[in-house]
Amino acid sequence: MTENRQFYYKRCIPLVLIFVLVSLSVPSLSASYTRSERRSFQRSIVDSRSQLNRGFNKVKRKKTKYIIVHTSELGLKTTLKVVLKGKRVRQGRSTKGGHTHYVIARNGRTYRVLDKKYKADHAGRSMWNGEEYISNSSIGIELAGYHYASITESQYRSVGILIDILQDVYRLDDRAVLTHSQVAYGKPNRWFKNNHRGRKRCAKNFIHAKARVKKAWAYDPDVRSGRLWADPQLSEVFYGRRKPEIKTVERNIIAGNISAWSIAGEDYDSRSTVYKLPGGQVYTGDQIAEAIGWNRMPVKTVVLLNQENGISLIKRKGPVKTISERLTAWSLAGTSYNKKTTFYFMPSGRIKSGPNISDWDDLAAQTRLIVGYRGPYKIYKNRSAFDIAGQKYKDGKTLYYMPSRKLLAGDEIKDFKQLPKGTMVFLPVT
């Protein structure tokens, strides 16, 4: 008996200890991330629940079958404001917030908006596999950004870990992870004569594999059953045989095969959707039918979403634009937001070109920007504005950035001999 006990302590206990240590360092078979990564991520979540609109009615969800990924179509600050406090909807009505459970910034920082046990109003009119109103049975995750821009690697890592954690909590497989554009559906309209996919475009640029979600759906069950009509573009993105690496999706510009519906979905004729025509004219979605006609929308028209409070600033003429709560770099520069010919003038006085900005969420309000420029070229004692810009030194498109942080066009300057030393000149790209 004593010999057996000694054998047990010498052989069995060390094996048990090894098993325990190994199990603590290696994730479960279903996990994509280590326990250490998951714990570190959970500790880093910013808890914003105390800022939730007090009028929001918290209702516990009876079941959890899906995880729905969204792109917010806004910058970070406005995204948090909308999901926490509410937003304006049609006919002047407002909601009371609670529009998601989590928000993930472009730098990967994650915010908790609502306890995951409660129902969030994030999916709206939706259907998956015959089940409607998916908000009742799902968790919502908002990625700050746009469906026609790239999702950052930091966002993919954070959303991947979050999905991994939620899958374990609710025992969900990879096919439970869907995007809003996959589950949303619309009623008949000028493009579709039946109920159809395509009501929302958000997160159509979400690549499941980059979030370590390996087994995505190969087809739309509601389209296959005939309950809904397919949206051709979404079908190609999610279920096409060739699933291309989506870079910047198809941009927010109307082209031969890209319509207002393709970009804005059901918000194509909304007052908060703004259309910037190639000639410079600006219209809201509710003005297009009368002013132009949907069948005559010119190609290269830029479509901007969620611009209800910013249209007057978009209409403002001149090359210098200003970022505000509603007007982001995307709103003002479109797909040129990160190009080397786009310059940002920070309130602090620093100047950066598009490629030198890493965190677009932290661009301060009142940051000014110019698109389609080269420079800067400094004015010195023996280097005048004329030496730099030639005959166009007085042109309205030639810009001067003063040491005082004033940004003036050439036609606004009265005495070029009085330009202070260190003034920088920006020339339009020809």
168 burial via Cβ count (<10 Å: 0-12, 13-18, 19+): middle
Closest Cα partner for 138 from 172, 89, 95?
172
- pLDDT surpasses 60 at 13: no
- pLDDT surpasses 80 at 227: yes
Question: What's the rounded mean pLDDT across residues 351-377?
Answer: 88
> What integer pLDDT is reported at residue 171 of this predicted model?
97
CA pair distance 239, 204, nearest whole angstrom = 12
Confidence of residue 377 (pLDDT cuts 50, 70, 90): very high
Question: What's the rounded mean pLDDT across residues 184-211?
Answer: 93
Architecture of the domain defined by 35-239: 3-Layer(aba) Sandwich (3.40)
Confidence of residue 90 (pLDDT cuts 50, 70, 90): low
Rg (CA), the chain: 26
> What integer pLDDT is reported at residue 246 of this predicted model?
47
* 291-312 pLDDT per residue, tens: 889 888 998 898 888 776 556 6
| Neighbouring-strand partners of residue 353 | 343
Q: What percent of the chain has pLDDT over 70?
A: 86
State the DSSP code for 250. Answer: B
Mean pLDDT for the chain? 86
Locus of tokens 């970070």: 76
Q: Is 104 helix (H, G, I), strand (E, B) or coil?
A: strand
* 319-333 pLDDT per residue, tens: 898 887 667 787 788
313 touches 290 (CB < 8 A): no
CA pair distance 268, 270, nearest whole angstrom = 6
Phi, psi of 88 (to 5 degrees): -80, 140
Q: Within the chain, what is the greatest distance between any pair of CA atoms?
A: 105
